Amino acid sequence: RLHASGENVGLPDGQMGNSEVGHLNIGAGRIIYQDLVKINMECKTGEIKKNPVLNEAFSYARDKGKQVHFMGLLSDGGVHSSDRHLYYLCDMTGEYGIKDVFIHGFGDGRDTDPRSGKGYMKNLLDHLENSNGRVASFIGRYYAMDRDKRWERIKTAYDLLVAGEGYKTRDILDAMQKSYDEGVTDEFMKPISVVGENGEAVGLLKPGDVVVFFNFRNDRAKELTIALTQKDLPEFGMKTIPLHYCTMTPYDATFTGLHVIYPKENADNTIGEVLSEAGKTQLRIAETEKYAHVTFFFSGGREEIFRNEERILIPSPKVPTYDLQPEMSAYGVKDAVIEAINTGKFDFICLN
């Protein structure tokens, strides 16, 4: 019997599987324990409090009087993040005596119910009553977690974080309900900026601040990280900010100047590595939305191409949502893989 969830694929018991987990386990040919499980355990045992990267960041913020910002997907979907990890991080800042702690939540609605975000926000606010921090903003993952270089979406999230551009409110739950009433659910929720008594946005990112991006999955965390820390994008009105920027896991091997809380322990002896060492040729092919899965995840968290490996990327369609083009780029992938098969040069082909 084939199982694709829970402990059978390295997830917590009862946790549904997902595309990342599936490709990782299939490529490795064995159970790979996920970041979610490892971080959950550290939170449960208190080991997270000993993490040197977090200790350095929070000590720096306390000693230099800097703000701390936590940003990431606010849900318990377990695919990209866990709100429980955020709770522990907030608790830690309280132990350090840091006063200016702000949370920038991203709406889920893909790995969770489309209207569950308000409940997650309520749970967070309840936790903060006995913890440390305040909510500064909220925006749908459609904007903040794009992975197809739709920089205009990232720009919307960037402007919220840096300039407070969005719907102004003193009551985040009320603002989220208004969005639901207008038919806009968690994934697509437009930027909401929490303001103080003076009407000014609270918790804007400022030079020298500490930022902790608490998503542990990398693919949808890359672009916002690029815009904030790696590369000026003047054509989209975005420039990098000098931040003490921490990521839960490594987001990209080419990124510089970041502080990784949990370095990856890449899986070895994956099928790609075994094929390469045996002198076999292999092809990885997918459209943009699944390219990371047939390359990075299928290779056990490895970015580099194996010897005798080739890759083909077919661009995903530039549409707002894929219900407008449900076939996506399937025909383009089909044509390319047929051409590759007909060459007779590949011993193994991985296609999604």
Task: Find the helix packing angle between 35-45 and 83-95, rounded to 10°.
Answer: 40
Residue 68 near residue 210 (C-beta atoms within 8 A): yes
The CA distance from 89 to 54, in Å, is: 9
The CA distance from 293 to 300, in Å, is: 10
- 169 Cβ contact list (under 8 Å, min separation 6): 175, 192, 193, 194, 195
The CA distance from 187 to 194, in Å, is: 19
SS3 278: coil
Instruction: Pick the catalytic residue from 5, 19, 193, 329.
Output: 19
pLDDT > 70 fraction of the chain, expressed in percent and rounded: 100
Which CATH code for domain 35-260? Answer: 3.40.1450.10
Q: Check residues 44 and 161 and name the one with the higher pLDDT.
A: 161
For 19, 29, 169, the CA distances from 290, given in Å and listed in that order, are: 9, 20, 37
pLDDT of residue 7: 86
CB-based contacts of 299-304 (< 8 A; 24+ apart in sequence): 299/27, 299/270, 299/272, 299/273, 300/24, 300/27, 300/28, 300/32, 300/266, 300/267, 300/268, 300/270, 300/272, 300/273, 301/24, 301/264, 301/266, 301/267, 302/266, 302/270, 302/272, 303/252, 303/253, 304/253
How many whole angstroms from its chain centre is CA 235?
Answer: 24
Amino acid of residue 260: V
SS3 53: helix
pLDDT of residue 326: 97
The CA distance from 89 to 49, in Å, is: 9
Q: What is the mean pLDDT of residues 70-88?
A: 96
Per-residue pLDDT tens digits for 22-75:
999 999 999 998 889 999 999 999 999 999 999 999 999 999 999 999 999 999
Phi, psi at 93, each rounded to 5°: -65, -30
Per-residue pLDDT tens digits for 247-305:
999 999 999 999 999 997 778 999 999 999 999 999 999 999 999 999 999 999 888 99
Type and span of the H or E element at 64: helix 52-64
Residue 49 near residue 85 (C-beta atoms within 8 A): no
For 146, 149, 242, 297, 343, the CA distances from 330, given in Å and listed in that order, are: 20, 19, 41, 20, 20
SS3 289: helix
pLDDT of residue 273: 98
Q: How confident is the model at residue 98 (pLDDT cuts 50, 70, 90)?
A: very high
Per-residue pLDDT tens digits for 190-231:
999 999 999 999 999 999 999 999 999 999 999 999 999 999
Asked about 19 being catalytic, the answer comes back as yes
Q: What is the mean pLDDT of residues 316-344?
A: 97
Q: Give the chain's mean pLDDT.
A: 97
pTM of the model: 0.77
pLDDT of residue 335: 98
In angstroms and rounded to an integer, the radius of gyration of the C-alpha atoms of the chain is: 21
pLDDT of residue 299: 97
Per-position DSSP letters for 155-213, written without gaps between them: HHHHHHHHH--SEEES-HHHHHHHHHHTT--GGGPPPEEEB-TTSPBSS---TT-EEEE
The CA distance from 77 to 85, in Å, is: 12
In the chain, where the domains are located: 35-260, 267-351
Of 327, 157, 333, give the one whose Cα is nearest residue 237.
157
